[in-house]
Copies of this chain bind each other. A is one copy, B any other.
Amino acid sequence: MPREITAFSNPLIKRIRSLREKRHRRDEGLFLAEGLRILTEADEAGHLPLYLFYSKDSADHPLVQRLTERIEAGGEGEVILTSRDILQKLSGKDNPQTVIGVYPDLACALDQIDRHTAPLWMVAQSLRDPGNLGTILRTGDATGAGGLILIDDCVDPFSVESVRASMGALFTQKIVQTRWEDFIPWLRAGPGMLIGTSLNTDFDYQQPRYTPPSFLLVGNESRGLPEEYEQQCDVLVKIPMLGKADSLNAAVATAVMAYEIINQWRHQG
Contacts and interface: CB of A to CB of B under 8 A. Distances in A.
Interface of A: 41, 44-45, 131, 135, 138-145, 165, 167-169, 172, 206, 239-245, 247-249, 251-252, 255-256, 259-260, 262-263, 266
Contacts of A135: 249, 252
Contact of A245 (B167, B242, B245): B167
Contacts of A206: 263
Contact of A138 (B168, B245, B259, B263): B245
A67 to B, nearest CB: 17
A138 B248 contact: yes
Q: State the copy count for this chain.
A: 2
A140 B44 CA distance: 36
Nearest to A256: B259
A-B pairs with the 7 shortest C-beta distances? A144-B242, A141-B243, A252-B255, A135-B249, A142-B241, A141-B245, A256-B259
Contacts of A259: 239, 256, 259-260
A168 B266 contact: no
A140 to B, nearest CB: 8
A44 B252 contact: no
B244 A172 contact: yes
A138 B249 contact: yes
Contacts of A44: 244
B242 A143 contact: yes
A142 B256 CA distance: 12
A210 to B, nearest CB: 15
> Which of A44, A131, A245, A248 has the largest count of B CB atoms less than 10 A from its CB?
A245
B251 A142 contact: no
A263 B259 CA distance: 12
Contacts of A256: 255-256, 259
Nearest to A260: B259
A259 B239 CA distance: 9
Given A138-B245, A169-B244, A249-B251, 12 more contacts: A138-B249, A139-B249, A141-B244, A142-B243, A142-B245, A168-B245, A206-B263, A240-B262, A248-B255, A252-B252, A255-B255, A259-B259
A252 B240 CA distance: 16
